[in-house]
């Protein structure tokens, strides 16, 4: 038995999203059906849509969903029908990393989040003719009016209404990744310097978290003037335009050597700039995915012997704990992530994508209800 709904389908790498009727499986014992209220558009969705990960097409992406649980499998006990939930990444819950409280480093992370199918190879989504559709993106594929998810994807939240629930959707990935990187991994102490390279959703979320942690000074580097202005509003004490300023010189002039950095662009030239800004014991997290050719190749400078560069996955967050924490900080006025968000009707998905890619929108969120 299946459920008919509609989803934004990418027919082939690089294709525009088209809403189509699909057939969605009923939940298995460890799954839940969620009626989607809103879904953020993340650059990882667009990288996958453009074929960067070599996934199967046609496909339904989306991994920043939020909605209302409509039905649950017989083994599900974390949520009930009617609960409002944010949907985050999937983890197994059984491996050593999951049991140690690090589900972002789940040993089955790639298969569960990028496998385009259940672990047994079956598809949760089919076209009307029965042909399977690439699914289970981050365990959810939530650019749709309904999503079938695993129980561990779901984080119950006390949203007062659908409008607030829609606001919480990006907490499932982009906002969580930036804030978690700063608070869970860099663990900035008051008075330590911080720089973020790329003032998008992840970068500005990291900046807000650094501000909460008492970092000083806080520097934001980007090429979009409006984003740099917002960075100042969110706590940056200095902003630098990487196209106009001598960025490394400007960083050193203002802050000396940087204690902590977050690099979100994935562009080799910017990574090199970030590495060169670090102090002797500096730490830097890299979270970016570069989708385009950004000019002449640059090999980033290697870190020094006491510097620490690492790739971050979801800020090493446990969504069950970290998403409620971010909501509490938001309600206390310490974490104003709502200033990053612009909402669009679901059917305007391709306009939202264009605005996200040209930088005019920081975090596009589609409203399904």
Secondary structure letter of residue 5 according to DSSP: E
> Which one of 3.90.180.10, 2.40.50.100, 3.30.565.10, 3.40.1360.10 gives the CATH number of domain 2-172+336-367?
3.90.180.10
> Do residues 306 and 281 touch, judged by C-beta distance below 8 A?
yes
Supply the DSSP string of 291-324, one letter for each residue.
-S--SS---PPPPPTT-EEEE-SGGG--HHHHHH
**What is the structure's pLDDT at 244?**
76
Quick: pLDDT tens for 333-365: 999 999 999 999 999 999 999 999 999 999 999
pLDDT of res. 53: 85
Highest mean pLDDT among 274-278, 292-296, 342-346: 342-346
Q: Is the pLDDT of residue 225 over 70?
A: yes
Q: What is the pLDDT of residue 255?
A: 60
| pLDDT at residue 275 greater than cutoff 70 | yes
Q: Which of 199, 165, 171 is nearest to 82 (CA)?
A: 165
**Per-residue pLDDT tens over the stretch 118-148:** 999 999 999 988 999 999 999 999 999 999 9
Read off the pLDDT of residues 246-256 as tens digits, 9 standing for 90 and up: 666 666 666 66
- What is the end-to-end Cα distance of the chain in Å, rounded? 25
CA 263 to chain centre: 14
Question: Tens digit of pLDDT for each residue in 175-198?
Answer: 999 999 999 999 999 999 999 999
- Does residue 296 have a pLDDT over 70? no
pLDDT band for position 231 (cuts 50, 70, 90): very high
pTM of the model: 0.94
- Whole-number average pLDDT of the chain: 93
Per-residue model confidence (pLDDT) at position 315: 97
Distance CA 8, CA 125 (A): 12
pLDDT of residue 310 exceeding 90: yes
pLDDT at position 303 is 77
Q: Is the dihedral of CA 272, 199, 50, 173 positive or negative?
A: positive
Q: Where are the domains of the chain?
A: 2-172+336-367, 178-313
pLDDT digits (tens, 9 = 90+) for 50-95: 998 888 899 999 999 999 999 999 999 999 999 999 999 999 999 9
Which superfamily, per CATH, for 178-313?
NAD(P)-binding Rossmann-like Domain (3.40.50.720)
In this predicted structure, the answer to whether residue 290 has a pLDDT above a threshold of 80 is no
Residue 160: pLDDT above 60?
yes
Token pair, residue 237, equals: 């004490």
pLDDT (0 to 100) of residue 252: 65
pLDDT of residue 40: 98
| pLDDT classification of 298: cutoffs 50, 70, 90 | low
Residue whose structure tokens are 């944010």: 86
Would the pLDDT of 4 be above 90?
yes
**Nearest residue to 88 (alpha-carbon basis) of 266, 332, 341, 319:** 319
* DSSP secondary structure code for residue 97 in this structure: H
pLDDT of residue 128: 87
């Amino acid at each position: 038995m299946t459920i008919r709904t509609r989803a934004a389908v990418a027919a082939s790498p690089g294709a525009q999203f088209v809403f189509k009727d699909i057939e969605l499986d009923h939940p298995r014992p460890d799954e839940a059906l969620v009626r989607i209220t809103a879904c953020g558009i993340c650059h990882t969705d667009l990288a996958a849509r453009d074929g960067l990960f070599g996934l199967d097409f046609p496909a339904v992406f989306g991994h920043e969903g939020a909605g209302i649980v409509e039905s649950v499998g017989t083994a599900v006990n974390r949520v009930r029908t009617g609960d409002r939930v944010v949907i985050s990444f999937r983890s197994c819950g059984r491996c050593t990393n999951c049991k140690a409280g690090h589900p972002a480093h789940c040993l089955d992370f790639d298969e569960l989040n990028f496998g385009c199918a259940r672990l047994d190879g079956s598809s949760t989504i089919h076209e009307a003719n029965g042909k399977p559709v690439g699914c289970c993106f981050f365990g959810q594929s939530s650019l749709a009016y309904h999503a079938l998810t695993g129980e561990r994807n779901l984080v119950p939240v006390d949203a007062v209404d659908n409008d607030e629930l829609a606001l919480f959707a990006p907490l499932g990935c982009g906002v969580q990744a930036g804030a978690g990187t700063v608070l869970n991994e860099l663990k900035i102490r008051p008075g330590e310097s911080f720089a973020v390279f790329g003032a998008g959703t992840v970068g500005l979320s990291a900046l807000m978290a650094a501000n909460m942690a008492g970092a000083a000074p806080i520097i934001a580097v980007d090429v979009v003037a409006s984003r740099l202005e917002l960075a100042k509003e969110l706590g940056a004490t200095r902003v630098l335009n990487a196209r106009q300023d001598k960025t490394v010189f400007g960083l050193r002039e203002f802050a000396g050597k940087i204690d902590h950095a977050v690099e979100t662009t994935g562009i080799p030239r910017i990574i090199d700039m970030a590495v060169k800004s670090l102090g002797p014991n500096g730490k830097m997290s890299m979270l970016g995915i570069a989708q385009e050719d950004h000019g002449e190749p640059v090999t980033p400078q290697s870190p020094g012997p006491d510097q620490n560069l690492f790739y971050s996955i979801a800020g090493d967050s446990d969504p069950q704990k970290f998403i409620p924490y971010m909501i509490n900080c938001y309600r206390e006025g310490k974490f104003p992530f709502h200033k990053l968000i612009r909402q669009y009707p679901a059917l305007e998905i391709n306009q939202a994508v264009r605005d996200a890619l040209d930088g005019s929108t920081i975090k596009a969120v589609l409203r399904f209800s």
